[in-house]
Amino acid sequence: MTAFEDLLRAWDGEQAVIRYDEPTGAWMFVCVHSTVRGPAGGGTRMRVYPAAADGLADAMRLSAGMTLKLAVADAPFGGGKAVLAVPSLPVGAERRRLLLRYGELVESLGGTFRTAADMNTSAADMDVVAERCAYVYGRSEAQGGGGDSGRGTARGVFHGIRACLRHLEGTAELAGRAVLVQGLGSVGARLASQLAEGGANLFVSDVDGERAAEVAQELGARVIPPEQVIGTDAEVFAPCAVGGVLAAESVPRLRCRIVAGAANNQLATPEDAERLHAAGILYAPDYVINAGGVLQLLGIEDLGWDEETLERHLEGIGTTLLEIFALADLEGVSSERAAEQVARSRLTPPA
């Protein structure tokens, strides 16, 4: 348990719940980082880790990110995250039983932590968790949930890209702008479609070549091989796949003016935000621009928003980015540092 103890002592969060699931050999980690603004919200990630402690460390790191994401979005929620660290990804009856036991764990927290789907979990999985737990978002629409949050994430990124253009060019017009979308999953494909509709000169890339070709043909885009993404000339680079794409090795090779995409943890290290700033590349902090999916689920399922209200809040992501860019320019700091200043200013408990 030494690794767990070391992680817990170094963490600045409020509560970590750890449970070992003997039937599957899985570890359940629920990390509540902050409830200053309200109950902690965050997805449930299911993943195979080299060691159980790596799963706990992931949950801690991600929960802190959710605190900043929800604060900068001005949502009445705190940050949390759950990780199911499994020996192998379960299927069928075994998966269902694990999710039911996990649902009982979340329910036992009495609403302090509220969850949704994340890596390797789905709306169908949330339907199962909801059989034992009332604090679940992102269930299937058939079960009364908000469904796939990818549409909210994509729409928020779309508005964020337009805000980036407005900051640099004085106009949010997309027509003729070269935009490269990396990753064509639930979010990336939707984003590419909206950009094409807006008249962007679209480039797309995905590790699945057939998928990339299909999307390109549908949208009139050009396919960029994955190994050529970094270094491709485009005004906007939208990373919508894996994290860590912005690193000491890749930033000097970027040929864009704007980085604005949906991927989580785009910066390999915090220093990479400073590298982008020094290179004169406008960076939309990932936890700001990709908050649309969270807003979709919380707004529709908990706050009573209709679609018009949701769209207004998704447009607000662009407004928030403009405020962050203005602050960064005023203080001569990176947009990442300015975003953190805004988020932390909203985490001060009321007097």
- Please list the alpha-helical segments (H only) found in the chain: 2-10, 52-72, 92-108, 123-129, 150-169, 186-197, 209-219, 271-278, 286-289, 292-301, 307-331, 335-345
Q: Which residues are catalytic?
A: 81
Helix, coil or strand: residue 339: helix
Give, in order, the Cα–Cα distances in Å from 323 to each of 79, 188, 206, 271. 22, 25, 32, 22
Type of residue at 154 = A
Q: Residue 330: what are its φ and ψ, rounded to 5°?
A: -65, -40
302-340 as b/e: b if 16+ CB within 10 A: beebeeeebeebbbbbbebbeebbebbeeeebbbbbbbb
Angle formed at CA 185 by CA 180 and CA 188, multiple of 5 degrees: 35
- Here the tokens at position 260 are 């604005």
Q: How many other C-beta atoms can be found within 10 angstroms of the C-beta atom of residue 101? A: 17
Residues 6+ apart with CB under 8 A from 308: none
